[in-house]
Amino acid sequence: MKKIILFSLLALSTLSCKKDNTENAKKSEAEQLTFYKKLLIEDVAKSLKKEYSKELATISDTIIEKIATIQADNCNWNIEQLNDTIYLSNNSVTTFKKQLALVDSLYRNKKDYTLDLYDLYTDLHFRQLKDISFNENIIGFYWSPGQNPISDQYQKLILKDNDVIDLGNGLKLLAKKDIDYLVSQMHSKGYKNYEFSSEPGRNEISIVKNDKGNYTLAFLAYDEDDAGCCPTVNVSFETADFISITANSLKIGKD
């Protein structure tokens, strides 16, 4: 498993020297936010192509840009948060508004804005991308703030039919009737407190393509006596489309 820096500072530095920086001088804050996010996504795509040239060799630039967009969207904020506090890489504190103004000033004056742009989108108190893994057509993102392991998050993407689909933690697209079935089966096995969540989870879901062309998903769920860090219930099922559970494939139990 390789590691990747979320935004390539070297590439962004090159961008800052080549663009006509006066074009952004009179933009509103909302327009600036859109403008700099676009620069960010472009650079993430370039970084992916460079760091994972072998894994992405057959993937089109359009799809790589979609992957970069999903990656960058996990370090996001909106214009309503302008006055919110953020923590920078040098351990200082500022607001999104001040940081955006700083980035814009540096950009317009053709100065190196790369680290400040990185800080604008990656508050160190929130999750950051630590690793990317590739398993056939499944891409795994591992997010962590680096301070509290219980906040670690796992996200899965699937490359399919010349597109990339965000699976969340792997269960994001599961239909409601299948969620209800999964929950009812968990309860029938004695795990009465089990609750389903489609949010990116602290416990990684394994996704493996099987001999039938379907996918086997395996993960750990919580028993009522489990500590917050350590689920112990093994759950697995097959799916062809990540929307429905293949009949008679659901397995629940402990080792």
Please report, in tens digits, the pLDDT of each residue of the chain (255 residues total): 444 445 433 344 445 445 556 565 558 898 998 898 888 888 889 889 998 999 999 999 999 999 999 888 766 677 888 999 888 888 899 999 999 999 999 999 999 887 888 788 876 556 677 888 998 899 998 887 655 555 678 889 999 888 999 998 889 999 999 999 999 999 999 888 777 775 545 678 899 998 888 999 998 887 777 666 677 889 999 999 999 999 999 999 886
**How far apart are the C-alpha atoms of 109 and 19, rounded to whole Å?**
11
Every domain of the chain and the residues it spans: 2-144, 171-253
Residues 6 or more apart from 59 whose CB is under 8 A from it? 159
- pTM as predicted: 0.78
Q: Which residue, among 254, 253, 255, has the nearest Cα to 185 in the 3D structure?
A: 253
222, 235 Cβ separation under 8 angstroms: no
